[in-house]
Amino acid sequence: MRGIAATLATVWRIASPYFSSEERWFARLLLGAIIAIELGIVAITVLINQWNARFYNALQDRNWDSFVYELGYFCVLAAIFIVAAVYQLYLNQWLQIRWRRWMTRAYLERWLEGSNHYRMQLLGDAADNPDQRIAEDIRMFIEGGILPLGLGLLNSIVSLASFSVILWTLSAAAPLHLFGDAWNIPGYLFWAALIYAVIGTALTHWIGRPLVALNYQQQRYEADFRFNLVRVRENAEQVALLEGEKAERDQLAGRFARLADNWMAIMSRTKRLTFLTAGYGQVATVFPFIVTSPAYFAGAVQLGGLMQTASAFGSVQGALSFFVDAYRRLAEWNAVIERLDGFDRSILTARQVAVSPPVIAVEPGERAAVEIKDLAVKLPNGAPLVNASDVTIAAGDRVLVTGPSGSGKSTLFRALAGIWPFGSGVIRVPKGAKLMILPQRPYFPIASLTDAVAYPAEPGTYHAADIAELIAAAGLPALTRRLEEEAHWNRMLSLGEQQRLGIARALLLKPDYLFLDEATASLDEAAEAAVYRLLAERLPDTTIVSIGHRSTLTAFHSRRLAVERETGGARLSEQMGAS
């Protein structure tokens, strides 16, 4: 468990940007109103404590007029308290959702900007399950942590200051009575509450400390189990074809077993902690009466004074016992802080990887060609993959890239796209040119077919009729009747159909440079030839670079670049003649 100073510094780093953002004035106003109401609630509690003395004295004296007056006074205080509590909750929830919305947007931007999410995966995905960190951990950081715990701590501090004065005053009015003698010990009621709270806090920390690590692991196991359930759902066809249901069931059962074992450890530790806190709370109910009752029975204090003392003692003891009462929530929140801090560090590491030399630099060029200079593409661990000394792809070229599987062809395309920084060298792309890389398995969002094909353009950017014509031209005329249907297209369509839709997207977006990474590999040779003829017809000015293994692709390309293995990796070079 990190030190308190380090934890507070991390909390400040995560929380403070919101109050310096474009929403800062509204956020500060909301927070100020919530704090003001919290202080008002403490003030009402102090007034009720003073009311205790008068009310119970009226009962003891059988003073009807005073009794009725105090009832009316209490009703007024209770009404104010109810209104304050309701509006504090309302403003608290308002601040929570606005703060969460801002943090979610900020984390999404940092995670997704400049292909950072992709580099984080390449680096080993140290920040496991970013979906949980953005969706769940941000919510828990705000709703279950900083606001309720912060307000609870503020309430405890103000209550401690207010009621300590009351206890100190009451200690002088009602001296400690032991064995028939009165002992004038300054503030003895306060010191008794302090000693009681310190003992309870120390025991709570001793018993509950392992909960921090256990809660961190529990969140990780929960997210891992949920993620793998989603993977099975996303790959249901492959699992069914391979008859892998038993293997998946066993793996999921194993992941759940780790989750359950950790939960049992949390249960065991929580049981011990609950024994302590429940017992501590029960004793706290009678402890102030035990301390004060000798003075009451000696006639040194009235019933009202006894009840006021018990109320004030309970408030001081409760304030000092904040740590005891909130320990489990603090443990859970500390795990959330560590997860968000780890996510921040992973985002920063992935961002630095893209700019810390040596890296592959993708720069705008003045020539109408893609130029590759002294390129050395490497794996994230530094192992060499593919080199290219001096390669130029001119505007209008049709280039076929060949080579054995695993030699680095697809990674070379990723470097050209600017999402693979690992290595060295320079790639110059014509200034203002639009590049598009079409992978073997194109991605389509869960959306209407028109929006899925037009992705990543904003919905409505292109006319539905134009998209329908291109879908039909790509060989999927039956889908033109489903343009407005919203579906999970990657799951519903075969890989060949997805590749045809990918071609329709390329025709729609009209890139200057189109890189096809085995983007037609699931089509038969005749269909593949038809697609290349379509590309030549509809995109006559587009430079096309293809990765492929079929010899039939040679007819659609005027140049061939081959990736050939050599000592220490592979090399991309120009090849003459047939593929």
278-312 residue pLDDT tens:
787 777 777 777 777 777 776 767 777 778 777 77
CA of residue 12 relative to chain centroid, distance: 17
Q: 473 CB contacts (<8 Å, ≥6 apart)?
A: 504, 507, 534, 538
Chosen CATH of 4-353 out of 3.40.30.10, 1.20.1560.10, 3.40.50.720, 3.40.50.300? 1.20.1560.10
Residue 125: per-residue pLDDT: 57
Question: What is the sign of the dihedral through the CA atoms of 572, 573, 574 and 579?
Answer: negative
Residue 281: per-residue pLDDT: 73
Angle (CA) 409 578 426, round 5°: 35
Residue 2 binned pLDDT confidence (cut-offs 50, 70, 90): low
Residue 207: per-residue pLDDT: 81
pTM: predicted TM-score of the whole model, two decimal places: 0.76
What is the distance between the alpha carbons of residues 85 and 461, in angstroms, rounded to a whole number? Answer: 49
Residue 177: per-residue pLDDT: 63
pLDDT at 114 over 90: no
Residue 577 binned pLDDT confidence (cut-offs 50, 70, 90): low
* Gap between the terminal Cα atoms of the chain: 61
Residue 436: per-residue pLDDT: 93
20-68 residue pLDDT tens:
999 999 999 999 999 999 899 988 988 888 888 788 888 888 888 888 9
More confident position, 205 or 486: 486
Query: Where is average pLDDT lowest: 23-32, 335-344, 429-438, 497-506?
Result: 335-344
Residue 155: per-residue pLDDT: 82
179-190 residue pLDDT tens:
556 667 777 777
Query: Where is average pLDDT lowest: 234-238, 346-350, 368-372?
Result: 234-238
- Mean pLDDT within 8-24: 90
In the structure encoding, which two tokens stand for residue 43, read together?
């003030």
DSSP assignment string, 96-122: HHHHHHHHHHHHHHHHHGGGHHHHHHH
Residue 364 binned pLDDT confidence (cut-offs 50, 70, 90): very high
> In whole numbers, what is the pLDDT of the chain averaged over residues?
86
Percent of residues, the chain, with pLDDT higher than 70: 94
- Mean pLDDT within 185-209: 77
Residue 100: per-residue pLDDT: 93
459-478 residue pLDDT tens:
889 999 999 999 999 999 99
SS3 at position 326: coil
Chosen CATH of 361-575 out of 3.40.50.300, 3.40.50.620, 3.30.70.330, 3.90.550.10? 3.40.50.300
- Mean pLDDT within 241-270: 88
What is the distance between the alpha carbons of residues 151 and 65, in angstroms, rounded to a whole number? Answer: 39
Residue 237 binned pLDDT confidence (cut-offs 50, 70, 90): low
pLDDT at 342 over 80: yes
Residue 527: per-residue pLDDT: 94
Q: Where are the strands (E) in 518-566, listed by range?
A: 543-547, 559-566
Same fold, 4-353 and 361-575: no
Residue 370: per-residue pLDDT: 93
In the structure encoding, which two tokens stand for residue 1, read together?
């468990």
Residue 425: per-residue pLDDT: 93
Residue 1 binned pLDDT confidence (cut-offs 50, 70, 90): very low
Query: Where is average pLDDT lowest: 51-60, 304-313, 389-398, 482-491?
Result: 304-313
Residue 287: per-residue pLDDT: 77
Residue 178: per-residue pLDDT: 62
Residue 3 binned pLDDT confidence (cut-offs 50, 70, 90): low
Contact call for residues 215 and 266 (beta carbons, < 8 A): yes
Residue 579 binned pLDDT confidence (cut-offs 50, 70, 90): very low
Give residue limits of the domains in the chain. Answer: 4-353, 361-575
Contact call for residues 416 and 576 (beta carbons, < 8 A): no
pLDDT at 518 over 80: yes
